[in-house]
Amino acid sequence: MLTAYDYPTALILNQAEIDIILVGDTLGMVVLGYETTRDVTVTDMIHHTSAVKRGNETCLIVSDLPYQSDKTSELAVGNAKQLVSAGADAVKIEGNKTGIIRAIISEGIPVMGHVGLLPQTTDRFRVRGRKEREANQILEDAVSLELAGCFAVVLECIPNSVAKKITESLSIPAIGIGAGSSCDGQVLVTHDLIGLFDRFKPSFAKQFVNVKKEILRAVECYKFEVQQGTFPDADHSYE
């Protein structure tokens, strides 16, 4: 699973045959320039989900319910329906909100759960579950989400040993992000994977290529050629 927030990225993830596209509320930071994901609105999510849908043919699209869009069951169901209308196949919700999750599922909308570090509500970004009590609570939360009907659950920023125990305790897929290699699947923010966003670098995010450097190089070459009068040349002009 990888994130996408626009049409061209969705096309690339389709070509790579990625299983799941997450239209994550991380778009607030890596695309819209917000300080946190809490500034993301349902309107933002609808706009970007629609763009991803237009570039998608084969991937399952999961869209985040943004901060405070799931305060009540009625509100969450209404917002989930809007995201599905925009092109999402399912929604993702943070935390052990079983009543709200059941309400969404009862409307025929699949839900992906999310436990461990919860970016929408945390006051500190740190690894969760290093202490036994906290680890047990995360396990209980994950099991509760499965019982509530979630088809999968994201495990974020927890020790590998805890993630392994949770994965083995669930019959639904556990998808890790900063949760080690024992999960059934993995998810990363695409902008982290390709080096396009460097304001914040999670220690668990491997950078497979640095696209930002290549874009900067291309822009600088363009600027130089325009200033020198070598672009546009005959091959890039009309007679």
Query: Please, is 41 exposed, middle or buried when counting C-beta atoms within 10 Å of its C-beta (0-12, 13-18, 19+)?
Result: middle
Q: Which of 17, 146, 156, 225 is labelled catalytic?
A: 156
Dist. CA 169–CA 70, nearest whole Å: 27
Within the chain, residue ranges assigned H as helices are 7-15, 27-30, 42-54, 73-86, 98-106, 132-148, 160-169, 190-193, 211-228
Structural contact between residues 46 and 79, judged by C-beta atoms closer than 8 angstroms: no
Dist. CA 196–CA 90, nearest whole Å: 27
CA trace torsion 68, 74, 76, 77 (10° rounding): -170
Decide if 156 is catalytic: yes
Q: Which residues are catalytic?
A: 156
